[in-house]
Amino acid sequence: MISTFTKTIGIVVFAGLVMAGPAAARSCIVPNIKTLDNQTVSGTMYVVSGKSCSIIVTSTRGPIFSARVVTPPSKGSVSINGNRVVYVARPGYIGDDRFVYARQGLDTINRPITRTIDVSVKVSDRL
């Protein structure tokens, strides 16, 4: 099911995968998004109103030190728990939302990097 909804951003060079598949098969869909060092990339998540959706920070070429919310969503909430960025849509809300998060770390030759992800959220009553 994940490959059906996988969307690759039009980026040729990438530094690693940031998002993995959905946390729950029927309440959330998150595509894989490739990131670039010190740049912002965009992706879209689909979530059912009132349900949570996790973005799993996965492989990278260097260590990750921290992740932080840059811009919180206005129609839900987002938190960072270990290697997961967890979005929860406000119960009853149907429509669009958006948040931005960044993660800091080192590249393969120990230079500091930031990878920023702008997430567009599509909230509906069902997927």
Residue 29: how many other CB atoms lie within 10 Å = 24
Residue 86 domain flag: yes
3 state DSSP class of 5 = helix
Residue 118 domain flag: no
Question: pTM of the predicted model, to two decimals?
Answer: 0.74
What pLDDT sits at residue 60?
Answer: 64
Question: Region 101-122: what's the mean pLDDT?
Answer: 90
Residue with tokens 């230079």: 111
Question: pLDDT digit string (tens) for 3-21?
Answer: 333 333 332 333 333 443 4
Question: pLDDT digit string (tens) for 34-76?
Answer: 777 888 889 999 999 999 999 887 656 777 778 899 999 999 9
Residue 126 domain flag: no
Give the count of domains, the chain: 1
